[in-house]
Structure 1
Amino acid sequence: MKINRKYISAFVALLLSVPVLAQVPAPAPKQSKPVLLKGATLHVGNGTVVENAAVGFDKGKITYAGPQNGANLSGYEVVDVTGQHIYPGLIQPNSALGLNEVESVRATIDWNEVGEFNPNVRSLIAYNTDSDIIPTIRANGVLMTQVTPVGGTISGSSSIVQLDAWNWEDAVLKADEGIHLNWPYMLVETGNSRNDARLKRMAEQREQTLTELGALLRDAAVYKAGKQDNENLKLASMTGLFDGSKKLYIHANYGKEIVEGVTFAKKYGVKDIVVVGARDAVVVADFLKANNVSVIYSGVHALPSRAEEDVDMPYKTPYLLYKAGVPFALDYDLAIHGIRNLPFIAGTAAAYGLDKEQALAAVSLNTARILGIDKQTGSVEVGKDATLVVSTGDLLDMRTNDVTQAFIQGRKIDLNNKQKYLYEKFENKYKAQEKVDGTVPTTMSN
């Protein structure tokens, strides 16, 4: 069969036309010399704001964070960021980032495992550092995430990673730090459903699931207490729940489900509990506070749960949790592509009661505390990782958020991404068209 050289040439030209900038940028090398950013407004992440500040870091760790006039510039490469703002790198909890690339292509989906009880499943080893989505998220200041499995009753173990690495071994900040439990939905009977056979079967299945869950927790506690001849991976992965070295993340929204789930876990000796989702957290705030339970609230950009609630109830829930004294963090729980909007979730909460710095803490230091990494990151303080962002405007405001520099463990990362490339590509196209015929397309003129 004779192959036309014209088609070969066209194919080669097509391959060569694929732009390098559209690919995932290579991870930055380790910090090679001390760096000091000076002149910016520093938002520490713990509520403190320092005007005309300086932040120095060396070997990936922050060595100075405070007023510019107190900084020792000797030996530092000084970068003038006067008029800009320095923030801690934001943290997205409860995310399938890196586990799912294209939802319509099964081979790119690695966030779910078959079966109902999979505590031994590790999301970390499935995390894809080459995901095209990661660079688009970093561009808005989100530099860390909790990689979380989904599905079943017990989905598996989550891990925390930073978003600039060659592989999951390089990315990990804290491995297998918690197990995720999807609390079975409660069934509410109505007048028309009391004799519904399907509802009865669902109720029986729920009771069976809770029985099996209780047996698994009881067996895991026994396994931890005794010396076993044979290793049981499922039980071994759960032993940390009983000494507080692992957290139990209970995914539940309805108030009664939250109370039931927390009470159930405590009954079996689970030490450290976090409720994820928690749309009704305000309703059971006293219970959560009394039981020392933290919340990862997922519903800021959502509709109210009930018709009788205020239309802005999801927006002001973070403020109400703050007033009630419940430790909480915020997450973006919609499509993973939208995680870049995490700072704007906090911005909405700031518009409905939270102080701006409190809102920042809800996506930085508060999250770090709940995930157990606050000694390492979450705020711009001496001794912590130099994981921070510089923005010309307010990081939490979508109108002025403009990240000009970002550092992960002192490494200045590449902020290019596919969306920026496409924007520049078509912007140049329209500008060229304007020069030729003097017209400006509607999309550009607007």
Structure 2
Amino acid sequence: MKNRTKKYISAFVALMLSVPVFAQVPAPAQKQSKPILLKGATLHIGNGTVVENAAVGFDNGKITYAGPQNGAASLAEYEVVDVTGQHIYPGLIHSNSTLGLTEINSVRATIDVREVGEFNPNVRSVVAFNTDSDIIPTIRANGVLMTQVTPVGGTISGTSSIVQLDAWNWEDAVVKADEGIHLNWPNMLIETGSESPDASLSRMKEARKKTLDELSLLMRDAAVYNSSKHDKENLKLAALTGLFDGSKKLYIHANYGKEIIESINFAKEYGVKNVVIVGGGDALAVADFLKVNNIPVIYSGVHALPTRDEEDVDAPYKTPYLLHKAGLTFALDYDLSIHGIRNLPFIAGTAAAYGLDKEQALASVSLNAAKILGVDKQLGSVEVGKDATVVVSSGDLLDMRTNNVTLAFIQGRQIDLNNKQKYLYEKFDNKYKKQKEADVQAAPTTMKN
């Protein structure tokens, strides 16, 4: 019996070894072990500056040099990587994302984006972040190396965190934990539906007023909790106290102009220090108000349809340029789907095609995003002292026709750019190439007259 069992085990092992194995999620890279110097490329720093024939050196995960190649002569002990003719960019940052919190929409067990209830400021999205998501490698391949993990649902969804996209677990991935609270401002625009318009409108107004009253009560309680001593910790109120001392940001998800103004005034009334508008569909219409109050915007609608019939069909494409012209600080995100996050550089590319300077467009998904998220001292640009989180592309990173990431580093670690989509492309490309070769060989020779 034992011999038969051993035979079965041996046969199973042999079968497994004979099947090609593809790791859909590559193992995280090891810590940088030797200094590296990228040389010969065009450097896009992320702050609007471009350096031709540049070099970027980094050691122990930090950038030690970024500038003209002839200024890197002192870095003789660095391992040189020749990237002549290519482009070096800061790793791109995606704001307002559920990446790692959901995988397959039709499988409930893979969805962890929201908690039950309306007010959940104490919910920490980062603890549910799945570093083994199959989607993450496909996003890194286009140059997106950081994201803000954001909960959804309810009035107060919870807290977001900034993570890097090459880690064994969420603890290793964290760049800045619990950096902001997300508030979904109640809609002013109400769809009445099929029931009596008057009855529906009245019911919706009552529900909105109730939500705002409950929100006001929660904020008052949090302010008192923050300014007084207490024997027992209240998790919800404790999570909100960072809003009053500026250690946390309040991300208000709002699109309609009046909602944006109302929500900001609400935050100011309760002494919230740092406010960010997310969505910002009407940000341009209230640009003066936003500028006076120094409110940045995470704009979500570049690849969306116009919201009003009278708007130009390309109005969303032009909005980033107009926001910049109005003097607002803004970042761009891609909120249609987690799979679409890989298109973040092309969102910026669209903005560049409709008036925004190319380097300003890059900043909208790098340095500006880092400033808004509060990690600009560490990320967002290729500058000495910052994390060596950089991308090398053989073409323009913001152009889908030429975007081709050849190298990527997170905190100095060279990450594996393979992913399931590349594997499948190569698999079937080879299949049909071989089939074509076989067909050519099998074809009869044509006699010449």
TM-score grouping bracket, smaller chain normalisation: over 0.9
Name the CA distance, whole Å, in 1 between partners of 2:109 and 2:191: 40
Q: What is the Cα deviation at residue 435 of structure 1?
A: 1.6
Quote the residue 1:4 is aligned against.
none
Q: What is the Cα deviation at residue 269 of structure 1?
A: 0.9
Name the CA distance, whole Å, in 2 between partners of 1:251 and 1:16: 51
1:300 to 287, 299, 302: 302
Contact residue 21 and residue 417 of structure 1 kept, 8 A: no
Q: What is the Cα deviation at residue 21 of structure 1?
A: 2.9
CA RMSD in angstroms, aligned pairs only: 2.2
Q: Which 4+ runs in 1 deviate beyond 4 A?
A: 7-19, 192-195
Structure 1 residues 166-218: Cα deviation after superposition (integer angstroms, max 9, x where no partner) = 0011000000000000011113589x998521221111010000000011011
Quote the residue 1:418 is aligned against.
420
Three-state SS of the structure 2 residue aligned to 1:374 is coil
Opposite residue 330 of structure 1, the aligned amino acid is L
Quote the residue 1:274 is aligned against.
276
Name the CA distance, whole Å, in 1 between partners of 2:293 and 2:398: 32
Q: Summarize the Cα distance change of 1:79–1:148 in structure 2 as closer, same or farther, 3 Å threshold.
A: same
Quote the residue 2:25 is aligned against.
24
2:183 to 181, 184, 189: 181
Q: Summarize the Cα distance change of 1:176–1:189 in structure 2 as closer, same or farther, 3 Å threshold.
A: closer
1:323 to 322, 325, 344: 325
Contact residue 276 and residue 298 of structure 2 kept, 8 A: yes
Structure 1 residues 61-87: Cα deviation after superposition (integer angstroms, max 9, x where no partner) = 000000000112321001110000000
Name the CA distance, whole Å, in 2 between partners of 1:370 and 1:35: 30
Quote the residue 2:35 is aligned against.
34
Contact residue 141 and residue 405 of structure 2 kept, 8 A: yes
Map 1:29-108 → 2, pairs under 5 A: 29-71=30-72, 72-108=74-110
Opposite residue 216 of structure 1, the aligned amino acid is L
Q: Summarize the Cα distance change of 1:85–1:228 in structure 2 as closer, same or farther, 3 Å threshold.
A: same
Q: Summarize the Cα distance change of 1:258–1:425 in structure 2 as closer, same or farther, 3 Å threshold.
A: same
Three-state SS of the structure 2 residue aligned to 1:229 is coil
Contact residue 278 and residue 298 of structure 2 kept, 8 A: yes
Opposite residue 103 of structure 1, the aligned amino acid is N
Q: What is the Cα deviation at residue 316 of structure 1?
A: 0.6
Name the CA distance, whole Å, in 2 between partners of 1:340 and 1:47: 23
Opposite residue 58 of structure 2, the aligned amino acid is F
1:263 to 248, 262, 265: 265
Is 1:125 the equivalent of 2:127?
yes
Q: What is the Cα deviation at residue 149 of structure 1?
A: 0.3
Q: What is the Cα deviation at residue 255 of structure 1?
A: 0.7
Opposite residue 53 of structure 1, the aligned amino acid is A
Structure 1 residues 83-110: Cα deviation after superposition (integer angstroms, max 9, x where no partner) = 0000000000000000001111101000
Is 1:344 the equivalent of 2:346?
yes
Deviates more, 1:180-189 or 1:49-58: 180-189
Structure 1 residues 115-153: Cα deviation after superposition (integer angstroms, max 9, x where no partner) = 000000000100000000000000000000000000000
Opposite residue 224 of structure 1, the aligned amino acid is N
Contact residue 190 and residue 201 of structure 2 kept, 8 A: no
Opposite residue 21 of structure 2, the aligned amino acid is V
Deviates more, 1:19-28 or 1:167-176: 19-28
Opposite residue 314 of structure 1, the aligned amino acid is P
Q: What is the Cα deviation at residue 265 of structure 1?
A: 1.1
Contact residue 21 and residue 416 of structure 1 kept, 8 A: no
Name the CA distance, whole Å, in 2 between partners of 1:189 and 1:384: 48
Quote the residue 1:157 is aligned against.
159
Name the CA distance, whole Å, in 1 between partners of 2:19 and 2:331: 40
Greater Rg over alpha carbons, structure: 2
Name the CA distance, whole Å, in 1 between partners of 2:191 and 2:103: 39
Contact residue 190 and residue 204 of structure 2 kept, 8 A: no
Opposite residue 252 of structure 1, the aligned amino acid is A
Name the CA distance, whole Å, in 2 between partners of 1:232 and 1:308: 49
Quote the residue 1:114 is aligned against.
116
Opposite residue 46 of structure 2, the aligned amino acid is G
Structure 1 unaligned spans of 5+: 1-6, 440-446
Q: What is the Cα deviation at residue 19 of structure 1?
A: 4.5
Name the CA distance, whole Å, in 2 between partners of 1:201 and 1:11: 64
Q: What is the Cα deviation at residue 223 of structure 1?
A: 0.4
Three-state SS of the structure 1 residue aligned to 2:241 is helix
Opposite residue 34 of structure 2, the aligned amino acid is K
Q: Summarize the Cα distance change of 1:424–1:379 in structure 2 as closer, same or farther, 3 Å threshold.
A: same
Structure 2 unaligned spans of 5+: 1-7, 442-449
Quote the residue 2:206 is aligned against.
204
Name the CA distance, whole Å, in 1 between partners of 2:157 and 2:19: 38
TM-score, scaled relative to structure 1: 0.94
Opposite residue 340 of structure 1, the aligned amino acid is R
Q: What is the Cα deviation at residue 11 of structure 1?
A: 8.5
Query: What is the number of equivalent residue pairs in this alignment?
Result: 437
Is 1:438 the equivalent of 2:424?
no
Three-state SS of the structure 1 residue aligned to 2:214 is helix
Name the CA distance, whole Å, in 2 between partners of 1:271 and 1:17: 60
Name the CA distance, whole Å, in 1 between partners of 2:29 and 2:419: 14
Q: Summarize the Cα distance change of 1:67–1:178 in structure 2 as closer, same or farther, 3 Å threshold.
A: same
Identical-residue share of aligned pairs (%): 81
2:365 to 363, 366, 373: 363
Opposite residue 60 of structure 1, the aligned amino acid is G
Structure 1 residues 396-444: Cα deviation after superposition (integer angstroms, max 9, x where no partner) = 00000000000000000000000000000000100111121139xxxxx
